[in-house]
Amino acid sequence: MPTRRVLCSLLLLTALASLHGAPTVGAQAQTQETIAAASVRAAGALDKLLPKRSEAIYQALASRFRDARAMELVTFMDRYWRLVGNTGFNASLDRLKAGLVEGGFHDGKAASPASALWFDEYPNGGNGWEIVRAEMTIVKAGTSEVSEPVFDPVVDYIALCINSFSTAPEGVTTRLVYVGKGTDAASYDGLDVKGAVVLGDGGMRGLWTQAVKQRGAIGVISAAPPGRYTRPDQAPEVFQWGGVPYDDAAKAFGFNASRRVADRLKARLASGPVAVKTTIDTRFRPASPGRYLVAEIPGRTAPDQRVVLVAHVQEPGANDDASGCGTLLELARSLQAAIAAKAIPPPARTITFVWGDEMRVSREWLRADAARAKNVRYMISLDMTGENAAKTGGSFLIEKEPDPSAVWFRPSDPHTEWWGEDNYRADALQGSLLNDLVLASCLRRARDTGWNVQTNPYEGGSDHSVFLQAKIPALLATHFTDRYYHTNLDRADKTSPAEMGHVGISIGLATMLLASADEADARAAVDLVATAAERRLALEVTQGADAKILEAWKAWYGKALESVLTLPAGGSNERLEQKVRAARSKIG
């Protein structure tokens, strides 16, 4: 029987098909992507309503953005497991700095009013952990001869868990014991695992507690299945990386294993006892400060007001989030180059670019200067911006600033598979022009290239959430659902330079409009937001919205129209206020 979600989706698709003169498509052929794409099409060509000077900005960025340079950073960062304070994290920040200097940014805050960059620091609460060497091999019974490696150094390169300790330099040879699930006491009935390496099918945290903390194992291997969206049936070599608790007393280690690795170990154990030799060399740098990189293009008339863009450096992934770092780097360079060539004027507001530890860097940047934080007008997070959709399945998404679709499920706005069913609170909705302006900017790129642009309701989980908590309009540019998310297969070969170009050019256009809008731009924004409101309300009628939902959208878009009054860096005036009032009156 179709679920309520599928039935609602079919009703929407029927209505949209009628609107566009297209045939209704059968339920079995519908996907979230089809539904979301239909929703964006129903919004109409919002890019045609962008301010007139948008085209000059767009062309200046499109001719200067070098997606190959963005990809070079992805390839560089992909070689490291990046955690705050460790070698890979710091090397990535230094590489970003070098790229900015090459692109015309000056080193040091003293370079202001020129475009400048610098590092800021905060006390690091992590351990600066990193891998130097991690090997495990099966030893032939009754001999010291090593017969076969357990983990492939290329495919399983991040199998070792964060916070794993080193073994003796010569390694340690011990029994391998399979305990079934391993996360409850019953799994260990009749088994002695003290001093052994334990293989279990349960999650790492429970396995660690039972085997290491309570029974004295020296290490564990978790064969817990990865998330459903990783499709382990199609890729038995996939696993999701993770960590173990930092434990200076146990000094133990953990590995995550794919189904392929786990099945091979279980098959060997079925034939008799198995011994493994483990050699691990890891480093901890708990005293290393948390560093983050800041670059700014100063505003010419309202420098204290800011548009902030953030990408996170940590994690071992290529798409997550080396692609966001590379996209933001090249976006910054393209804006700087266009301004230096006088192809576009400098922004009225300061544009701030930040790279660091996900979410922590946003909290630290906001905390460091309360007055500066108060003057942030808009924020955009770039996280997983380079997906090769054909390989990863991760379509480009604008995760919207919370609107009513984050509160009530709407067939036109399906959540991703990552969503945890926790809806946003209706009383927390703010309303902002940001969603529709960014969507229109992305649709301008799509007009030239056929790029697949979609939106989804707010779900959180990246730096935009921190700014939203500070009552700052914010959204996320991303790709999901990615079948390689947080896995060993998130490598540079899954990243598309062209996709990074699409995102960088589009977000760059939106950023310049947000940073430089004058009254004429704001008047155009009123028309854009009002048109989006009209189409949204019409769409809600086609998908059977009740009075409560319709009123919520009217209220949200009323606030979004009001927010246009703060778009001009020089402030509002009576003519703009009249236009906003007129637009508000039309939506009720």
397, 376, 431: which is closest to 506 by C-alpha? 397
**pLDDT above 90 for 205:** yes
CA distance 522 to 572: 9
Query: Percent of the chain having pLDDT more than 70?
Result: 91
- Strand ranges across the sheet with 219-222: 146-149, 130-139, 274-283, 172-178, 197-200, 219-222, 253-256
Q: What token pair was written down for 548?
A: 């409560």
Residues in a beta bridge with 275: 139, 175
**Looking at 26-40, 77-91, 214-228, 557-571, which range is the least confident one?**
26-40
Identify any residues that bridge with 221 across adjacent strands, giving them in sequence order.
199, 255
Distance CA 268, CA 220 (A): 17
Give residue 47's pLDDT. 96
Grade residue 288 by pLDDT with cuts at 50, 70 and 90.
confident
Average pLDDT of the residues in 253-265: 97
| Cα separations in angstroms, 249 against 175, 209, 286, 288 | 21, 14, 16, 22
Q: What is the pLDDT of residues 503-557, one digit of tens each?
A: 999 999 999 999 999 999 999 999 999 999 999 999 999 999 999 999 999 999 9
Summarised one tens digit per residue, pLDDT across range 14-49 is 333 333 333 333 333 345 555 556 566 555 689 999
Separation in Å, CA 357 to CA 84, 266, 314, 401, 476: 7, 38, 6, 22, 16
Question: Domain boundaries in the chain?
Answer: 46-124+289-516, 130-283, 518-588
Provide the token pair at 336. Answer: 């700087």
Q: Which CATH class is domain 46-124+289-516?
A: alpha beta
- The label of the residue with tokens 């890979």 reads 88
pLDDT at 528: 98
Q: What is the pTM of this model?
A: 0.93
Query: Do 474 and 401 form a contact (C-beta atoms < 8 A)?
Result: yes
- Residue 397 CB neighbour total at 10 angstroms: 23
Token pair 């001999």: residue: 143
Task: Look at the alpha carbons of 516, 520, 526, 532 in this order and tell me if their dihedral is positive or negative.
Answer: negative
The answer to whether residues 354 and 122 touch, using CB atoms and an 8 Å cutoff, is no
Closest to 96 (Cα-Cα) out of 63, 74, 79, 126 = 74
Q: How far is CA 308 from CA 365, 411, 507, in A?
A: 10, 32, 12
**Average per-residue pLDDT in the chain?**
91
Domain spanning 130-283: which CATH class is it, in words? alpha beta
* Average pLDDT of the residues in 177-201: 97
Q: Strands across the sheet with 290-297, in order? A: 106-107, 116-122, 290-297, 349-356, 302-312, 376-382, 474-480, 395-399, 454-456
Reduced to 3 states (helix: H, G, I; strand: E, B; else coil), residue 66 is: coil
Tokens of 34: 């089809």
Read off the amino acid at residue 489. Answer: L
- Arithmetic mean of pLDDT, 252-281: 96
